Structure 1
Amino acid sequence: MDEWNTFTGRLLWAMKRAGRTNQSELARAVGVKPQSVQYLLRADAGAQGSKYTPALAQELAVSSRWLATGEGPPDQIDLLGPHAESKAAAVYAIATGMRAKVTGTVRVSGTGDVERIDLPAGESDGHVLMPLHAPGAHALRVKGNALAPYAKDGQYLLLDAEAEWHPEENLLITLADGRVVLRELLLVRVDTLVVLPLHGGQPEALERSAIKAVVPVVCAVPRSLWRPEEP
């Protein structure tokens, strides 16, 4: 592709593919001023790269080597450094192309109570590439930073109602009284689930008769794996 011949072209291509065309949001995620991203995207500036290229590549789920030089495939994400596990997951997601529809948003309070807003049935706000095999999964976009560092504002929770429950995993629990809470599972008993608030506190036993539905949270998905719906 001709647009890959320049750093500006590669950066713009990566931003479009990742659905990250908001320059101010990308700058904030990388930790630079919006003017810096604007400069890198100016065709007449002739930018040859930036010391923030690795951070930009991580946010956009592309190879920092490809972004800097145009060499190698764009999806060959660097599997080194403190984020190796998440990068490996991104490689898997991009390679397999498995996707989950984004069906709504979720905001979690400090106590773990959840405000969930679902889109009308059949509608979605794009999809996320999945870093694992979960055919029945769907995703919710996180609003706010109450779940940080597990999931930050603008990232996604991948939920799979068909997945099995395991201790130390997070569960989205709908109670019979209509409340929705996010809890860590400690123990499964015949009549109760013993759970823990996400930010610590005392374990609590939820009677199964007081539970309407339980959906395991499979993982958090970075914004770079979001894709718009194809027309």
Structure 2
Amino acid sequence: MIAATGIGWRIGGARILEDISLEVGTGELLGIIGPNGAGKSSLVNILSGVTRPTTGRVTLGEADVTRMSSTRRAHRGLARSFQTSALFDGLTARENVRLAIQATGSAPFSPFHPASATGTESIDPLLERVRMPGKGETLARDLSHGDRRKLELAMSLASDPTVLLLDEPMAGVSAEDVDGLTEIIGEVRDEGVSVAMVEHHMHVVLGLADRVAVLHHGQLLAIGSPTEVTSDERVQQAYLGEAL
């Protein structure tokens, strides 16, 4: 569903990524791991169109989207989340999701437009899908960190994407919320959405991913099943003995 071929990215003389090639199949969850500074978020930015690569190309389905904006990629079925929160804190959870739905062009763009015109029948199922029933009228600023992450997922799913890119969705959340988010993301994958997920919680990646890609110093060190990757001596050395 989405593929990177020969991706390289440099800033001045600094090499951030070099010759990265990988793909995510239909209904597959690809975990992307690596030490800090390995280039994981940079790769997600290139896949989503936030950053244009220096070399290589990105394809979404059959289309070459390398020079296509993130907005145009979104209209082609790609959605993503970010490491840092991207919510409107002064709006309710329902209003945040409403904005995401309106951004697809299916309703007038106004967070305060009557619910009937924006499809509350579409909003509430999204909140229920991410385990947030009854929290639609809660201001985003009053939500727990875990619920904020769930709300961001609901907003990403509002466009009914075929490809979902997640950049550290578990960052900063409690162990209980990690379990809940893991379950939700697994369900999204099982529904046929292709997911690429950067994540530092290794037990989540290894338990959820169909395949795992390991980045190290901006290069693709290994890619394969969780078992294949964790038994790779190069991966073990890159993590300096860190438990995988």
- From the two aligned structures, give the one with the greater helix fraction: 2
| More contact order relative to length (CA 8 Å, sep ≥ 6) | 2
TM-score (normalizing by structure 1): 0.25
- Which structure has the greater CA radius of gyration? 1
TM-score (normalizing by structure 2): 0.24
- From the two aligned structures, give the one with the greater strand fraction: 1
